Amino acid sequence: MVSDTPSTLSMLAGKRILLGVSAGIAAYKSALIVRLFKQAGCEVRVVMTDGAQAFITPLTLQALSGEPVRTSLLDPEAEAGMGHIELARWADLVLIAPATADLIARLVHGMADDLLTTLCLASEAPKLIAPAMNQAMWHQPATQRNVAQLAQDGWQLIGPAAGDQACGDVGPGRMSEPDTIFEAVANHFTTAFAPGRGPHVVITAGPTREALDPVRYLSNHSSGKMGYALAAAAVAQGARVTLISGPVSLPTPHGVTRIDVESAQQMHTEALRLAPEAALFIGCAAVADYRSASPAEHKLKKQEDSDTLTLTLIKNPDIIAEVAALTAEKRPLVVGFAAETQQIERYAHDKLRRKRLDMIVANDVSQAGLGFGSNDNAALLLWRTAEGIQQRTEPAQPKNQLAQGIIRQALALLSV
């Protein structure tokens, strides 16, 4: 639902939005996006790729925006005064919707072979992008690498959504609806703090590895995607973010300070060092509950005379509980995560109470396509207020979008 509150509309009034439209059936929704921004008082200029013009005409977007639509880098009249540089400087924000897999790949590699990609390279404005493609294309490792790189480069992804697709497939890849895209842009202009002026947020992410010998370890399936999405979302809200990361293959989000660790004990050391300096601590890492009591100095050899191997494990420190137990003057607001396979609400309430957390995010990791290793997640949020525990259910959605909702809720608790 599009927010039309006076504060949202006044915040957007006069903002200069450069909308890029690339080739895809979702291009028809670009007309609705232009209309929403014009209703909010924004100035909108549209740039279309050659392929986009096969799906919607420049005349339609010109009529809605009230401005000429640019389609060519080699337009003699427009480029008489270096028009593409002027347009790049004009924008308060660059939004590409829809963004095809091809366009995303070209942006990642810094290509400037048409007007839209050239503007993206030349503009220093914040950049948001709404992918739109077939579900199989979205799932391709190459596409996933590309969108991860865009996020590292500072782009904010909107979606994609999941559902029926024009080709008949069902799954993620649909461009987010125009009102969702509008809300993402509105949220960008209504950030909680000026960039880098917000509170210090410390986030743990990824798995830990507990050595058994020099070549083997105990670990789990965590990819770190949720924690990294939280870090990017916190930076987008103006926070100063330190990410304590277990071993993952993800790029560091733009504007985030990253500290790499391997074991739970190493993560514990860094968390307890940084937590007293933070206003908000988010324990998103999937920390191993146990470690080997005595890791072998050399590689353990297979015992030919035995079919079993006995390991002695000892408990790892409970990082989130120790941070929550800090004295009042050192204690940040503490948000924990609970990855469960059953009775999600019951276990979330129990963990919130038992570990004395301020907020908890619980998700069902038994659901196919959600949680560990996936790009999507759903969650149950619980947090403490003076009136008691409040809760909200977040439906399945891309992790970067879920992260934005979690961060906004956590920052709201800080201001209470």
Domain range for 120 = 6-189
Segment 373-402, tens digit of pLDDT: 667 778 899 999 988 999 998 887 778 778
42 labelled binding-site residue: no
Token pair of 107, please?
């942006």
Which of residues 189, 215, 242 is at a domain's end?
189
Provide the pLDDT for residue 108. 94
pTM as predicted: 0.70
Are 154 and 216 in the same domain? Answer: no
Co-location of 125 and 271 in the same domain? no
pLDDT greater than 60 at residue 8: no
In this predicted structure, what is the pLDDT of residue 144? 87
* Residues 341, 235 share a domain: yes
Instruction: For residue 284, say whether it is annotated as part of any ligand binding site.
Output: yes
* Residues 401, 266 share a domain: yes
Distances (CA, A) of 28 to 20, 32, 54, 178: 13, 8, 11, 10
Share of the chain above pLDDT 90, in %: 56
CATH code (residue 346): 3.40.50.10300
Q: Is 318 annotated as ligand-binding?
A: yes
211 and 174 in one domain? Answer: no
Contacts of 85 (CB under 8 A, 6+ apart): 122
Same domain, 234 and 123: no
Is 337 annotated among the ligand-binding residues? Answer: yes
* Residue where a domain stops, chosen among 157, 189, 221: 189
**Of 189, 220, 244, which residue constitutes the final position of a domain?**
189
Structure confidence at residue 30 as a pLDDT band (50, 70, 90): very high
Query: Which of the two residues, 81 and 233, has the higher pLDDT score?
Result: 233
- Tens-place pLDDT, residues 34-51: 999 999 999 999 999 999
Res. 80: pLDDT tops 50: no
Q: Is 189 annotated as a binding residue?
A: no
Instruction: Give the number of other CB atoms < 10 A from CB of residue 162.
Output: 18
What single DSSP character describes residue 159? -
The domain tally of the chain equals: 2
End-to-end CA distance of the chain: 26
- 341 has pLDDT over 70: yes
Alpha-carbon distance of 32 to 103, in angstroms, equals: 21
Residues 51 and 131 in one domain: yes
Q: What is the pLDDT of residues 84-137, one digit of tens each?
A: 788 889 999 999 999 999 999 999 999 998 999 999 999 988 899 999 998 889
- 319 labelled binding-site residue: yes
Burial 219-247 (b: 16+ CB within 10 A, else e): ebebbbbbbbbbbbbbbbbbbbbbbbbbb
Is the domain of 124 the same as that of 167?
Answer: yes
The reply, when asked if residue 376 is annotated as ligand binding, is no
CATH code for the domain in which residue 37 is found: 3.40.50.1950
- If asked whether residues 133 and 241 sit together in one domain, one would say no
User: What is residue 1's predicted lDDT score, i.e. its pLDDT?
Assistant: 40
Looking at the structure, do residues 134 and 265 belong to the same domain, yes or no?
no
pLDDT of 191 higher than 80: no
Could you tell me what percentage of the chain is helix, strand and coil, using 3-state DSSP and rounding each to the nearest 5?
35, 25, 40
Q: Does a structural domain hold residue 382?
A: yes
The answer to whether residue 95 sits within a structural domain is yes
Q: Which residues does the annotation mark as catalytic?
A: 167
Per-residue model confidence (pLDDT) at position 87: 87
Which phi-psi region, left, alpha or beta, contains residue 6 (left: φ > 0; alpha: ψ -120 to 50)? Answer: alpha
Report pLDDT digits (tens) over 148-167: 888 878 888 888 887 777 77
- Known binder of ligand: residue 315? no
Residue-averaged pLDDT of the chain: 88
User: pLDDT tens for residues 278-319?
Assistant: 999 999 999 999 999 999 999 988 888 888 888 899 999 999
Q: Identify whether residues 108 and 237 lie together within a single domain.
A: no
Identify the band that residue 227 occupies on the pLDDT scale cut at 50, 70 and 90.
very high
